[in-house]
Amino acid sequence: MSKIGVVVCTNAGVDYVDHPYDIEVIRSTVLFGEEEFVDYLEITAEEFYRKIESNPDVMPKTAQPSTGSILEVFKKCREKGYEEILVITISSALSGIYQGCLIAADMIEDLKVTVYDSKTVAYLEAYIAIEASRMISEGKSIEEIIPVLDYIQENARLVFAVPELKYLVKNGRLSNASGFIGSMMKIKPLLELTRDGKVVSVEKIRTLKKAINRVVEKVLEETKGIDGEYILIHANNPEQCTVIRELLKEKDIHNVFDYPLTPAVGSHSGPGAICLGFIPKVK
């Protein structure tokens, strides 16, 4: 049986998750004014949001990893003795990393590469990579693993609210028209990651408090009757995590863990973004 490895991109935030597996990470670069940082290795989520707070006029950006840097990660896997790797990427609708991995896969020899578009981001992407690693440790093949990952992706949910639209607009994740109208009317849009991996505005709400309440309502509505767990993902917003936990406790939902949005993702969401996610239990 082939020795199989798992690779994930930095957007997943797998560095912030305790797990026992050998998962390699393809890292993006965060651009902060004239400064450049390799995500996590040179700037952590905590450091990144602190930097935004002290430099509010600087708009962070990201540079996706080059094909060459992706290829280096693949070579490292080969050097570790892996004969196959499963590469989990951020949604191809949000980044070109998926295409970059496909190109790199064609360039490497003596290593079978399967590139999987998670159609998601942040901890949901990390969970998919960790679950794939768990199944590999049980002796499952990539062909057996993919349908399970598809089930997770199709039934997972991610709904979020952002205090400010300017980061999403400036970095091209929402249209300029939506951002202009939102800023003029002080709207707090409710955003959702669709099943095809796009970020769309699904509702327009006047206050952040109402938006937070609606985040919880919408996720619970869409996951009714599905067995699974709820998780929080945020851009340095522990206060709203506490608010959402209290709302979930009223529905008898407890033990909801939270995870940070990495600098690579936080550059687009901006500080204060708060997400409630749902991960279906694997059958």
When pLDDT is cut at 50, 70 and 90, the band that residue 177 belongs to is: very low
Three-state SS for 242? helix
Q: Give the pLDDT confidence of 77-90 residue by residue, as tens digits.
A: 999 999 999 999 99
Q: What is the pLDDT of residue 175?
A: 38
Please give the backbone phi and psi of residue 88, each rounded to the nearest 5 degrees, phi first.
-100, 120
Query: Which tokens belong to 39?
Result: 């995500």
Which contiguous run of DSSP H or E holds residue 105? Answer: helix 97-107
Mean pLDDT, rounded, for 183-194: 76
Question: Is the domain of 23 the same as that of 129?
Answer: yes
Q: What is the pLDDT of residues 189-237, one digit of tens each?
A: 889 999 999 988 888 888 889 999 999 999 999 999 999 999 999 999 9
Is residue 230 classed exposed, middle or buried when 0-12, 13-18 and 19+ CB atoms within 10 A define those classes?
buried
pLDDT tens readout for residues 16-36: 999 999 999 999 999 998 999
Positive or negative CA dihedral for 161, 165, 170, 174? positive
**Do 8 and 87 belong to one domain?**
yes
> Residue 94 to residues 61, 89, 119, 221: CA-CA distances in angstroms?
14, 10, 9, 25
Which residue, 154, 175, 207, sits at the end of a domain? Answer: 154
The pLDDT confidence band at residue 14, using thresholds 50, 70 and 90, is very high
Residue-number span of the structural domain to which 147 is assigned: 4-28+64-154
- Amino acid making up residue 172: G
Query: Is the model's pLDDT at 165 over the cut of 80?
Result: no
**Is 249 found in the same domain as 193?**
yes
92 and 209 part of one domain: no
The rounded distance, in Å, linking the Cα atoms of 257 and 239 is 14
pLDDT at site 178: 54
Give the global pTM.
0.93
Strands of the chain, DSSP E: 4-9, 23-26, 29-32, 35-38, 61-63, 84-89, 112-117, 157-161, 188-193, 199-205, 228-234, 257-260, 274-280
Q: Determine what percent of the chain is predicted with pLDDT higher than 90.
A: 81
The residue among 154, 187, 209 that closes a domain is: 154
What 3-state DSSP class applies to 199? strand
Task: Quickly tell me which residue has 């082939």 as its tokens.
Answer: 2
Indicate if 109 and 161 belong to the same structural domain.
no
Q: Are residues 126 and 238 in the same domain?
A: no
- Integer Cα distance of 237 and 260 in angstroms: 9
pLDDT band at 132 (very low <50, low <70, confident <90, very high): very high
Q: Give the per-residue pLDDT at 174.
A: 53
SS3 162: coil
Q: How many domains are there within the chain?
A: 2
**Residues 148 and 165 placed together within one structural domain of the fold:** no
% of the chain residues with pLDDT over 70: 93
- Among 154, 169, 192, residue at a domain's last position: 154
The distance between the two most distant Cα atoms of the chain, rounded to a whole number of Å, is 59
Per-residue confidence (pLDDT) for residue 43, from 0 to 100:
97
In a domain, 53, yes or no: no
pLDDT for the residue 185: 53
Q: What is the mean pLDDT of the chain?
A: 92
- Could you tell me if 253 and 169 lie in one domain? yes
Radius of gyration of the chain measured on its C-alpha atoms: 19
Q: How would residue 181 be classed by pLDDT, with cut points 50, 70 and 90?
A: low
Which pairing describes strands 112-117 and 257-260: parallel, antiparallel, or unpaired? Answer: unpaired
What's the number of CA atoms in the CB half-sphere (13 Å) around residue 140? Answer: 17
196's CB contacts (< 8 A; 6+ apart) are: 93, 119
